[in-house]
Every structure is written in C-alpha cells, then in structure tokens.
Amino acid sequence: MTVHPEVAAMLAALESGFPDVTKFPPVELRELIRSRRAPLQGLPGMRDVHDLTIDGPGGDLSLRVFRPHTDHDDLPVVVFAHGGGFVFCDLDSHDELCRSMAEGVGAVVVAVDYRLAPEHQAPAAHDDVYAALEWAAKNAGDYGADPSNIVLAGDSAGGNLAATVSIAARDRGGPAIAAQVLLYPVIDDDFETESYRLYGTGYYNTTSAMKWYWQQYAPNGTDDPRVIPTRAESLTGLPPAVIITAELDPPCTSGDTYAQMLEAADVPVVHHRFDGLFHGFLTFTSLSFTEPARRDIWAMVRGVLEKR
C-alpha cells in the first residue's frame, strides 16, 4: 500500500517524536506529553466557554462547556470524552477539537475530564462520563441546549466510553440518547484482528501501546460491558451511531466490526472509514486531510440528528 507523502511525513515525525508509552510511569508520561503541546489558541472562537466542577462518583469532576456563536436556545448537546488510552490527555488536549465540533455540528459540547488510569481503573472513567451525561440532561437548558437531544461522543478511548455509556443509559433507564459518535473508537482488546496484524507497528499507534493501555485501565479483565461494549447481552435499542475509523489504525477492524454488529441489531448506523489515515488524525490540524474530514463528520452527525 502506498501512503500519501504528507501522511508518511506526519507518521515519521510522530514515530520519532512521540514517546514510547510503555517506557514511562503514567505520571511522568502525562507530564511529558503535556509539555510538548502548543499553547491553546482558543480557536475557533465560541460565544461562551465555561469551566465548572460537578459532583462525580469519585469526587470533583471537571467539565468544559462550549457554546458556539448562535442565538438559538435549543441546540443539541454533545457529551464528549477525550482519547488518550484512558491514561493521559485532558480538557486542554481536546479543546480545539471540541470547539470545531461545537461550531461544525451546531451544538453545545460538554467535555469531561474523567478520572485516568492506572490510579483509577475501570469502570471509573465510564462512571464519570455517565455522571456528566446525567448532569447534561438536567442542566443543558442553562447553556442554550435541548436536554432531550443529547449526543454521546468520543475519540479513541473516549469512543469506548461513549459506546459503553450509551449501553448503560439504555440498561439503567437513563437519559435518552439521540446519537452516539465514535471516532476511531477503541472497542475491545482483540489484538489479532486484520488491522492489528497490518498496522500494529510503524503507524504511530502500536499494538504494544494498546496492550499497555488496557493493562492500565482494566488489569482485572474486560468481561464487563462497562469496559467493552461487545460484552453487552444485546445491542438492540441503542441510539443511532456515527462510527468513524481510520485504515492505518490497529483498532480499525474492531470499529468496523462494531458498526456491522449495531446494524445487525437494527441500530441505524452511518459508518465511514478514512482510508490512508491513522489513529488520532482528527486532532492534527496541520494535516491537510483533517479539516475536510471534520467537515464530513460534522455533516454526518447533523444528518443523524435531523432524522429524529
């Protein structure tokens, strides 16, 4: 397979510059990754951005609420869980992506600073995102959003959390979910799929890193549907899904398969695989493919919500 020269150059830079996560203690790893970030630009601009703290299942839970430039008071609300292998990243790491989503979808976005592993193992992150969902259902109206039009979204590990919280909301009779948006989600811990075999090394996200992430987050096993969505007894009755995968990503096959499983359970699914792109590409704004892909994805989300 021929990789586009721009993508190949980006992958080479990432391969040489991103730390081998398996070689650092988690606390040191977080600081190392944080130290390499560019300063926040606050773009695209929002009408309002609020940082607040709510009561979470493990104590204080930080949220960041983004409201785009619009006078409408009935916007959808997106509860967003960031990626980072369940181990790193935070509200700042995904600030720009959340702004882009708020503007592109036309939604209030509630980003969740959930507890990180290994200090807080599964299902702590899941429980925090569920708490944020409940908060959004009760308080979205205060931020110009419609609490009856809630989307659960996340990228990578956050895609796992969006998927598992969608299942929990169904099973617990929680807030109604209008859609789940899974961006190159980490669905399971099957490291023998085709995409792991083809792209497990040399494409930024590696098999060894993925195994390490799961060891940090779920060292006691993954049989719980709060940890792996395919462990649920049934996928019937889940909210419509937008599932985005990237060809050069080890978890790609699992994401593709989950889309097929949801469709088999009569869940409406919009599924798109971005060929020639890699895990996390939506957060790399310097890549020329990123902005067009975002526009396409935000349009997919709008399309799903318009069908309600």
The catalytic site residues sit at 156
Tokens for 125? 């992150």
Instruction: Give me the half-sphere count of Cα atoms (radius 13 Å) on the Cβ side of residue 156.
Output: 22
Q: Which residues of 112-131 are buried (b: 16+ CB within 10 A; e: fewer)?
A: bbbbbbbebbbbbbbbbbbb
Bond from prior residue into 25 cis (ω within 30 degrees of 0): no
Pairing of strands 108-113, 59-67: antiparallel
Instruction: Give me the half-sphere count of Cα atoms (radius 13 Å) on the Cβ side of residue 246.
Output: 28
Alpha-carbon distances of 166 from 17, 44, 200, 228, 250, rounded to whole Å = 35, 28, 28, 12, 24
Over the Cα atoms of the chain, what is R_g? 18
